[in-house]
Structure 1
Amino acid sequence: MRKGLLPLAVLTALVPAAVSAQEQATATGATNLDRIQVTGSRIRGVEIENAQPILTVSREQISRSGQATVADLLQNISSAGSPSISRADALASGENVGGYYIDIRNLGATRTLVLINGVRLGATTGGFQDLSQIPVSAIERIDILKDGASALYGSDAIAAVVNVITRSRFDGAEASVQYGQFSDGDGGETIYSGSFGTSNERGGITISAEFMEADPILAGNRFFSAFGNAGPDYPGSGFSPVSQNGSWFDEATETWLTLRPGGNPANRADYVPHTAAFNANANQQMFVQTGLERKSVFSNINYDLTDRISFNSDILYNKRSTDQQIAGYPYQSLAFDTPLSGDSVFNPVGEDIEFRRRLWEVPRTTRSELTTFRVVAGLSGYFDVNERPWDWNVSYANNRNEVTKTGHGDASLLATAPALGPSFIDGSGVARCGTVASPIAGCIPWNPLLPFGVSGPGSLGNAEVQDFLFPTYTDTGETSSKIYSANLSGGLFELPAGDFGFAFGLERREETGRFVPDAFNQSGNSTGLPATTTQGGYEVDEAYLELNIPLLADVAFAQELTLNLASRYSDYSNFGDTTNSKASFIWRPIDSVAVRATWAQGFRAPSIDNLYGGIGGSFESYTDPCSVGVPGSVAGNAACTSAGVSPTYVQLGQGLVPCTSWPCQTPDQFLSGSNPDLGPEASISRTAGIVWSPGFAEGLTLSLDWYNYKLSNYIIQDSVNRILRDCYVLGDASRCAGITRAADGHISGMFFGLTNLGELETEGWDFGARYRMADTAFGGFTFDWQTSYLAKYDTLTQNSAGENIFVGGAGDPGYFRIKSTLSTNWEINEDWNATWNMRYYSGINDGCVANRPCSEPDRFQNGETAPRNRLGSNTFHNLQVSYNAPWDATVSLGVDNVFDREAAILFNGGNVSTAFPYYPEFDIGRFMYMRYTQRF
């Protein structure tokens, strides 16, 4: 069916019937159009409470959290994994930076589907859906279906579905202002929000707006990062030899030399050996938390055209600006073949010299601006068939993201080459590029041997030198998602236990995306990471069918037994078709007990970036198995020697300095890219659980759920370590093709891309306990305890014998065995309320690093050495107290991380840019805030 004809055809078929039903309703009396559709089923009106593992976060819970975004709130639920992109990662690049993404079950943010009022949220070319776009003031509740649901919702619904339900037909107005900051005196956060709505018996309009601004935090202002990535107990050992002091290599003595304090840069004798005292602490210029500004407006328009037909529309505008900063670029002349010319007026020895200099005077900054426009419009209604109401709806959604990234601080190689080349002093005593006979117009010579803070000709502190060397770079991008859908649901006939319900729907989705890096980055003519254009798109046509079959009701040992079946057929323009199904049941042997189980097939289509992404560059940290002194070293074996690596080679890191700990960061950029031949990922998920509401404790509900996910054809980024292991340890010569080594043996280049090689299995348990005590003389108490236990998180790999094995990740950084939250709310009276939240994270196993603590140095896994260092558990406490004032206002005071908990240093892992264990989940200090809300 051609684009645009699907919704028109369904509307043509349904509207006459609906009008006819409306005429009948006019004679018999109007019928209420407020029919509720829940997350986890497409059948309107079906009773799904306790039928599936759904966690609901109410508007009241949101207001008591003090969180700035939806993602901040959801990140604290026990089933949430560690996000791969967050404000803690100042080194992150690309169009996804600045967004907030939720990852359920640690299966990745792109495997959790996000909906707004049941309709997909637009995604980046990488498939990431930004939850921060939605103003918190617009939200009525959030449903999290912790189960695979591709049969109902299509691609990406592998791990879970997050459905944000917004407010509608709100009548009145309210405004709120919140300000907070860390007790360290930084990280200020300001939020202004407001909602306005008007409604009558036929419809209404609700508008919510929000402005949020969060200041960045420097890594130097936190204990765990102030002394470099080695942590406070090892000051200096995490510093870089490529420093702001500059140094050059003296071939005569084979020594790196640096200008002594107060020395003459033209005098060779004033240069002394470069020792650790001259090294750079890059974290002095690094953000440990990026800056953020967000402006968003969301409106809902709802109107009953007739007694049985309604019009509904959601409109979203969001503009997000994110500020990143990292230390000045560690320039190494050997990497770019730009030595300081022997004919440069700044050369102290008169011959070409190799140098290294961190461009400290100009930190690398990036401002990422994302603008989102989203419009959803549709008609819905119902008509009667055999005295049973059938619901229908047709809708169109258009979501467009436009991104602009502005960067500064990476040097132009087109400028550094002449600036470091021959130069001369003109008649005015000014240094000029080129020669007297052939000057280079517009060029400013640069002296990289002048340390930071030392003035003089060619100093990087000079504005004219900076203007010449550092242009401004601009990346642009745009993604578009168009969705046409039509749905029909109702009761087909009556069974002894109730109506045989069904839902049927058709959907067409068109995804396009483009991300264009700056021309300098595309050509590789800057010190920035090289990247090329991502551009592509695809279409998918889908149909689904859901059946809800009540088998038993109100009989002995079966107050209810209902079976739910669903299947979805998807036809993609790029890789073909796929069918995914789901089956679930709920059994209530008695009124107080519900037993539930699901089996679901899932899939994730490769994203535009996966298929049509450009080539990108990065400085990877890895362990070279051809190096002596590393875990699992095979130095001197046939594969290593045939690659020209000496049996005594020691891996070289930044500045071509021998590594002393591993993984060690490469001094050269490695390249990675997409794969147009990728296929979809597939999954099988299973859940089983029980819900008990004991009669002897009114208000108490207990739940226990088991889950298991198995993913195949998993799209993974082929890692540097995996390639090196296959090539040199396992002897697979085909894996060596993308590895380039320099004459000294170090890896000077590598390409690694995407592949469908991955397999993953995860398994665990969720426990929930909610208790609403009867009111006492001291007020009312509500307790909500949610705990997740990760029993298994296994990924497929190979051992040294080439055998396929699953390597366990449960308990490693980011994969906590136990995550638990306990919320205690105390309603003292109608005026006062206090909420105490606790978040518990079990201990983790950090990989051991040389010269650092290692609690289990002799540990083996799958027959290989796998030393680890055990880090203890952490608990964070949050408190909020609020007062409802007589003038219809609420004043709230809150403290996050009340006891200023500081977690142990993580040396060998983490989704952050500093040596701290997983800030996306852990607090980096005590945060205090105040919020005032006024209702009108």
Structure 2
Amino acid sequence: MKAHRRHALTRAIHVSLLLALPGLAVAQDAPPTDDATTLDTVQVTGTRIKRAEIEGQVPVQTVTREDIDRTGLTSIGDILQELTGSGSALNTKFNSSGNFGFSPNGDGVGAGSAQVDLRNLGPKRVLVLVDGMRWVSESSASGVGAATDLNTIPLAIVERIEVLEDGASSLYGSDAIAGVVNIITRRNFEGGQVTLNYGEYGEGDGATQGIDLAWGFNTDRSNFFIGASHVEQDPIFSRTRAQSAFPVPGTGVAFGSSATPTGRFIFTDPNTGATLNLTPNTGNTSPIYDPTQTGCDRTDGFHCFTTADRFNFSQFNLLLTPSERTGVFSQFRFYFNDNIHAYAKALVNRRQSLNQAAPEPLFLGAGAGTGNPLADNIVISAQNPFNPFGFDLDSADNLILVGRRPVEGGPRRFEQEVDTRYFATGLEGSFGTERTFFWDVNLALSENEAEQTNYGSYDIRKIATALGDPAVCAATPGCVPLNLFGGPGTITAAMLGYIQPVVRDRSEQSLDQFSANLTGDLFQMATGPLSFATGYEYRKYEGSYNPDPLTVRGDYNGVPSLPTAGEYDVNEVYVELNAPLIREGAFGKSLDLSLAGRYSDYSTFGGQFTPKYGLRWQVADELLLRATYAEGFRAPSIGELFGSDSRADLQLFDPCLIGTDGSPPTGNPANCAVLGVPPGAQQINTQISVTTGGNAELEPEEARSFTAGMVFSPAFGSGVPWSESLDLEVTFYRHEINGAVQAIDAQTQLDQCVATLDPIFCNGIDRGTTGAIVGFSNRLTNLGSINTDGWDVDVFWTLPETDFGRFKFIWQNTVVTRYEAIGAAGQPQPQGVGIEVADSSIPEWTSNATIDWRAGNWNASWTARHISDLTEDCGGAASFPICSNQAAGTNELPAITYHDLQVGYRFEFLKGLQLTAGANNLFDEDPPICLSCSLNGYDASTYDIPGGRFFYVRADLRF
């Protein structure tokens, strides 16, 4: 992105923020006439037509400001992830840098971000709008992402959130396959508000504190709002909770790393021909190697490496990543007359976050499998003053593996700084006498700019020099011979100064958009007006990712990646019609047919047309039936199209090798032999490097969505002694996606390769002479299909007010009846209903039930959040008692119910002082233990953290 564009956008935002107030003086000159309110005709998410009767045509869930305050949460992402229709998505409970690497989508990992997934179809298939306009995609300096980072939008500016759980590509374009999240900002705000909040976990850590400021006023011809927000969230370390203190709960260090602070050395002694797997004795900083001792009964400075020697990297991980977010938002509207007004909006937001991983491991030698030739082909000179073996350790000859964890260099710390800038302006108006038409034109410029700074990594080229010929090292400026052989403390500050750089990665994304819309009634039919909406939209996307030059050169020891850059634009036109077919007849009160279509022309792949059809049947005042059918698509993102190769170190279990715990291989022995695996080969490390990247040949994903449901408000439950109102909503949904952009699940690809020897699976998986995987390519492609369906069942019951106050009961449920993902070659992917896999899950039943009570100045609420049971593959942990069904190799994650309590009181001070106290996860339920999850022994996208009782207080003063 060019600098002049960034500076222009920054100036536009600053001007709108600073000059909005002087405009208010002009706004007071001439009052509008009474009918100016026609500009506020109802428009809801899920339709472009402005008519009050359209409401209820599609299933839209509204999260009000009252609902937001009741959660006690400070992030839009955290709030949306608690909806029953939400699936697994990134949040600040994911310590997602380090070996977590890059996502299999080729678009980087949004470390520190919070995303939303609907219908378990992935965050990249959810379209996020702010006041009806698209929000720019995330940028976290690890790639060019396809999802939206909700931590770039301050919660304080939100009036409500509308969630459309239906395909809507015909109305909003690409990305709306799974649904739409429309965040409505505060607008008509009178006076000021100061909100202070503080909370922490019952263990005394993870404190969250924040302040929100809001001020606004309305005149006859204008309204103005400005809001500022600052939130700080402190970290929680994995070591402070028993469940997350080890790599896999209940297995000790069996699944710890073979790169240890003491060091692990697997080599063949050229003098004796003996292959040894040694580690120095604890505390022996100058071990002496005796070549005559060719077994494990040793009296020199070494012993044979065992499971007990593995390194517990969990002690350095984070359960909750620290985050600091500061944002300012302002919007101003000026009414020129009864029929036209202008608006301007601006936002600046900064997110500072941190992820931490254990000290970076050094894996060197032919069996390292890093994919970096500097590490895999290393030669450690016999002349290195610290080499105790007396001969060269040569990857081409006798060196299988060196695994050393330089704890002297400290943990890896990944610090992100993300700046978001947004400016929008436009005109809205109406015209007509007999029929009123509404129009608007809008321009929005937005960008995310991120820098990630990594402390604690290493330069593998300098390590190779420091381990090589001392004469070469002496001739190299700054080089200091490196000691990997003596255990903790033997790597000096001078050695670290030569091999340990500071790594800085950067990324940017921008979205420029223009739209023009027109809506109204075309003409009067016998049954009512034929309503329409039509419009044009232009969008331009730009994105880039620039890793540190050290990474680009291939010298970075950590997870490597290459630069990415790309752009594309799209022109779109759409039309939407709503035709009343029946009014007040034998078939009910009304029957409406809605039709919509959008044509999109992309610079990357050409044109696409998407239609949508809907029926809304008001059978009676009490009963509404509705159904929709839509076709949709999702264009491949910049990262998916243009992303260069990057690597993730994934937790994989090789079926051809003896497990790290000594368990026998599970793969077909004959097939393993064909793949070059010698008998008795053991898996050294369960973290296998997997390379993925973009694919310029990708086609758009295509989808079909269907919903059918009812809204029932029985008369017997309205205005009677036991009920003021009673509403029941039932919706059936079905989504089918073809050509889904995804890489094959890496474990599935490996298992299928061993089971079938099919080149579709085996191409790209390379093994070394030891049988270990030394290369694993897992490319993006248009996979076969994803099919899911289920039910939403919601009950809303308000009781009449009594001497005890007013009670309201809300019960929302989602039941997933099917989820099938089929790969490009017809192979089933592991995701499914009731299954936990790849740090995500699809519970069969999720439910939120809330009892809300208000009496005078008091208010209280009780919320129960239920998640049904899940099943996972135990993987290499199948032989441990922690695996609930060892015979089948599966583990059950029991159902869990969280309880949240909140109590508040309002003081009549100024315009009101509201004090609130609450506790989330009141009974301190620990999440089910997950044996297959990558970090911390639980699924961070589904459950609260272990030891997760969270207490908070909030003071809200209005004046």
Is the counterpart of residue 449 in structure 1 residue 485 in structure 2? yes
Instruction: Please report the RMSD computed on the Cα atoms of aligned residues, expressed in angstroms.
Output: 2.3
Is the counterpart of residue 901 in structure 1 residue 896 in structure 2? no
Shift of 1:95: 6.0
**Which of 420, 427, 431 is the matching residue for 1:372?**
420
Per-residue CA distance 1:515-566 (angstroms, 9 max, x = gap): 1111111222121111111111111110000001111222344112111110
User: What is the match of residue 721 of structure 2?
Assistant: none
Q: How does 1:705-854 map to 2 (within 5 A)?
A: 705-725=731-751, 727-733=753-759, 735-797=761-823, 809-813=832-836, 814-829=841-856, 831-849=857-875, 850-852=878-880, 853-854=882-883
Is the counterpart of residue 678 in structure 1 residue 693 in structure 2? no
Take 1:88 and 1:242, find their aligned partners in 2: how far apart are those partners?
A: 23
User: What is the match of residue 259 of structure 1?
Assistant: 280
Shift of 1:30: 5.6
Shift of 1:46: 3.9
Take 2:804 and 2:240, find their aligned partners in 1: how far apart are those partners?
A: 43
Q: Is the 8 A contact 2:853 2:861 kept in 1?
A: yes
Take 2:809 and 2:503, find their aligned partners in 1: how far apart are those partners?
A: 52
Matched residue of 1:620: which SS?
Answer: strand
Residue 720 to residue 192, structure 1, CA distance change in 2 (3 Å): same
Per-residue CA distance 1:758-815 (angstroms, 9 max, x = gap): 30110101000011111111111111100000100011149xxx86668771000210
The higher-RCO structure (CA 8 Å, 6+ apart) is 2
Per-residue CA distance 1:589-639 (angstroms, 9 max, x = gap): 1101111111011110000000001110122333434447778622213xx
Q: Is the 8 A contact 2:705 2:733 kept in 1?
A: yes
Is the counterpart of residue 103 in structure 1 residue 143 in structure 2? no
User: What is the match of residue 514 of structure 1?
Assistant: 544
Q: Is the 8 A contact 2:349 2:419 kept in 1?
A: yes
User: What is the match of residue 314 of structure 2?
Assistant: 283
Take 1:905 and 1:215, find their aligned partners in 2: how far apart are those partners?
A: 24
User: What is the match of residue 455 of structure 2?
Assistant: 408
Shift of 1:434: 4.8
Q: Is the 8 A contact 1:508 1:541 kept in 2?
A: yes
Residue 779 to residue 364, structure 1, CA distance change in 2 (3 Å): same
User: What is the match of residue 693 of structure 1?
Assistant: 713
Take 1:86 and 1:682, find their aligned partners in 2: how far apart are those partners?
A: 31
Take 2:957 and 2:352, find their aligned partners in 1: how far apart are those partners?
A: 28
**Which of 27, 34, 41 is the matching residue for 1:35?**
41
Letter in 2 for 1:485: S
User: What is the match of residue 864 of structure 1?
Assistant: none
Matched residue of 1:609: which SS?
Answer: helix
Deviates more, 1:157-166 or 1:736-745: 736-745
User: What is the match of residue 19 of structure 1?
Assistant: none
**Which of 427, 432, 441 is the matching residue for 1:394?**
441
Take 1:464 and 1:368, find their aligned partners in 2: how far apart are those partners?
A: 28
Take 2:284 and 2:576, find their aligned partners in 1: how far apart are those partners?
A: 80
**Which of 904, 912, 916 is the matching residue for 1:882?**
904
Unpaired runs of at least 5, structure 1: 1-24, 424-432, 655-663, 860-866
Q: Is the 8 A contact 1:877 1:899 kept in 2?
A: yes
Residue 83 to residue 447, structure 1, CA distance change in 2 (3 Å): same
Matched residue of 1:444: which SS?
Answer: coil
Take 1:778 and 1:272, find their aligned partners in 2: how far apart are those partners?
A: 74
Letter in 1 for 2:855: I
User: What is the match of residue 216 of structure 1?
Assistant: 235
Letter in 2 for 1:394: V
Matched residue of 1:73: which SS?
Answer: helix
Take 2:520 and 2:224, find their aligned partners in 1: how far apart are those partners?
A: 28
Q: How does 1:168-567 map to 2 (within 5 A)?
A: 168-226=187-245, 228-231=246-249, 233-249=250-266, 251-252=268-269, 254-265=275-286, 267-268=288-289, 269-334=300-365, 335=368, 336=375, 337-353=377-393, 355-361=402-408, 362-384=410-432, 387-423=434-470, 434=472, 439-452=475-488, 454=489, 459-460=490-491, 462-567=492-597
Take 1:357 and 1:900, find their aligned partners in 2: how far apart are those partners?
A: 39
User: What is the match of residue 702 of structure 1?
Assistant: 728
TM-score w.r.t. length of structure 1: 0.89
Take 1:652 and 1:198, find their aligned partners in 2: how far apart are those partners?
A: 67
Matched residue of 1:388: which SS?
Answer: coil
Shift of 1:857: 5.9
Q: Is the 8 A contact 2:90 2:113 kept in 1?
A: no
Letter in 1 for 2:908: P
Shift of 1:498: 2.1
Matched residue of 1:224: which SS?
Answer: helix
Shift of 1:738: 1.9
Shift of 1:196: 0.9
Q: Is the 8 A contact 2:127 2:175 kept in 1?
A: yes
Letter in 2 for 1:376: A
Per-residue CA distance 1:131-178 (angstroms, 9 max, x = gap): 222222211111111100000000000111110111113121111111
Take 1:53 and 1:601, find their aligned partners in 2: how far apart are those partners?
A: 17
Letter in 2 for 1:296: G
Residue 651 to residue 312, structure 1, CA distance change in 2 (3 Å): farther
Letter in 2 for 1:900: D
Unpaired runs of at least 5, structure 2: 1-30, 102-107, 139-143, 290-299, 369-374, 394-398, 719-724
**Which of 629, 653, 670 is the matching residue for 1:599?**
629
Residue 614 to residue 262, structure 1, CA distance change in 2 (3 Å): closer
Is the counterpart of residue 634 in structure 1 residue 668 in structure 2? yes
Shift of 1:256: 3.2
Is the counterpart of residue 916 in structure 1 residue 938 in structure 2? yes
TM-score w.r.t. length of structure 2: 0.87
Take 2:741 and 2:664, find their aligned partners in 1: how far apart are those partners?
A: 29
Q: Is the 8 A contact 1:792 1:808 kept in 2?
A: no
Take 1:574 and 1:308, find their aligned partners in 2: how far apart are those partners?
A: 40
Take 1:935 and 1:773, find their aligned partners in 2: how far apart are those partners?
A: 29
Per-residue CA distance 1:852-901 (angstroms, 9 max, x = gap): 35555666xxxxxxx53222100001111111122121111111110000
Q: Is the 8 A contact 1:703 1:769 kept in 2?
A: yes
Matched residue of 2:244: which SS?
Answer: coil
Aligned length: 865
Letter in 2 for 1:389: T
Residue 516 to residue 804, structure 1, CA distance change in 2 (3 Å): closer
Take 1:446 and 1:783, find their aligned partners in 2: how far apart are those partners?
A: 67
Q: Is the 8 A contact 1:170 1:196 kept in 2?
A: yes
Residue 451 to residue 890, structure 1, CA distance change in 2 (3 Å): same
Matched residue of 2:669: which SS?
Answer: coil
Take 1:51 and 1:899, find their aligned partners in 2: how far apart are those partners?
A: 40
User: What is the match of residue 722 of structure 2?
Assistant: none
